[in-house]
A and B are shown apart, each in its own frame.
Chain A
């Protein structure tokens, strides 16, 4: 089972907005409203930022938003801040026997 496809890296300047894409198939991203996004700082555990495609857990900044179109989910971060520099992973439930599938990860650099 292949991982979900994410760009290896994205970058943006403070105050700008960036979008990270996550492409799957009709068996995972496109078939369930179960895409989640995680932020991971170096040597730290991942942190849930988005669940159910576009919902934010309590305590997560509203600068983070999720969306989906067809088999591609997206994470948008607006008003970039230095603290947003981290790795970001998408995850989806998969109808195939893998069950929970992660993307390969995207490194966000705040210039």
Chain B
């Protein structure tokens, strides 16, 4: 059973950088694609981006200039950084495994609420 767990600050100030880490257990991140998805309060899901352990990354064009996703292979973790945040970035952030050939996100973390406020 693959388990994902998000961790990081729950409060970030405007213009600063949001940083979250996803720890994967029950499987290695050195296979599959790993993704971040967010959900503003009361709203729908938005795909942020994904990474492959080889370093290949793809990002949502609406966030591309502010986002980066990277892996820490030795810790079986991958991370999200979103800079220059505003209140519009307040959301629950989920990490998830993407089965890219099947087009589905099959394992999800429980989600981490990040609030952008001074």
Q: Report the bound CA distance from A102 to B99 in whole Å.
A: 16
* Other-chain residue from A1, A32, A45, A52 in contact with B94 (beta carbon distance below 8 A): A45
Interface residues of B (CB under 8 A from A): 35, 44-47, 50, 58, 60-62, 94, 98-99, 102-106, 108-111
- How many A residues, CB 8 Å from partner? 31
Q: Report the bound CA distance from A51 to B104 in whole Å.
A: 6
Nearest neighbor of B94 in chain A, beta-carbon distance: A45
- Also in contact, A98 and B60, with CB within 8 A (given A46-B94, A46-B108, A105-B45): yes
Interchain nearest-CB distance for A65 vs B (Å)? 15
* Other-chain residue from A3, A36, A97, A103 in contact with B103 (beta carbon distance below 8 A): A36
Q: Report the bound CA distance from A103 to B98 in whole Å.
A: 17
Q: Interface on chain B toward A: helix, strand, loop, or mixed SS?
A: strand
Q: Are A99 and B47 in contact (CB under 8 A)?
A: yes
Looking at B44, B99, B108, the one whose CB has the most chain A CB atoms below 10 A away is: B44
Q: Are A45 and B108 in contact (CB under 8 A)?
A: yes
> Given contacts A1-B62, A55-B102, A57-B104, could you give 14 more A-B pairs where the C-beta distance is less than 8 Å?
A34-B103, A44-B110, A46-B105, A48-B106, A50-B104, A51-B104, A89-B45, A91-B47, A91-B105, A98-B47, A99-B58, A102-B44, A102-B45, A105-B44
